[in-house]
Amino acid sequence: MIKKILLVLLVVLVIMQFFRIDKTNPAYPAEQDFLTVENVDHEVGEIIKQACYDCHSFETIYPWYSNFAPASWIIKDHIDEGREEMNFSEWSTYKEKRKKHKFEECYELVSEGEMPLKGYAIMHSKANLSDDQRKLLVEWFKNASKH
């Protein structure tokens, strides 16, 4: 009986691999990008790129395990949700009120340790922010929200 269950699970797992995700990053004008529009200094920009851009931009770098379902489906869902919530690649298209709100959300979520997501930071060591990096981002986003 156990052998039959394992065989069925194996077959289902193999069939799942035929349902691939779209890993295409849409093209976008560079002048719309957050780092360009906000003229972010290098240190802060690098932290944002490493900790945020995979889910919140059109510059996603898909990891090797995104080639295998069902992990690929979960990753794609997270990316789609992240881009919908805030997309750094479309930053210049946001109205000033929305930008201010996003800055406020950023410093709140980063300061509370809710972003980057813990699961993401575990799998991507560069996104695992040190206390100093977290403090730097919080201060940067807080100052940006005031302008």
At which residue do the structure tokens 């906000």 appear?
Answer: 38
The 3-class SS string of 80-135 reads HHHHHHCCHHHHHHCCHHHHHHHHHHHHHHHHCCCCCCHHHHHHCHHHCCCHHHHH
Question: What predicted TM-score, i.e. pTM, was given to this entire model?
Answer: 0.87
What are the residue ranges spanned by the domains of the chain?
2-145
> CB-side exposure of 56: number of CA atoms within 13 Å?
20
The token duo for 70 is: 């069902």
The string of pLDDT tens digits covering residues 42-74 is 999 999 999 999 999 999 999 999 999 999 999
The string of pLDDT tens digits covering residues 30-41 is 899 999 999 899
Confidence label for 146 from pLDDT (cuts 50, 70 and 90): confident
Indicate if the pLDDT at residue 103 is higher than 90. yes
| pLDDT at res. 39 | 87
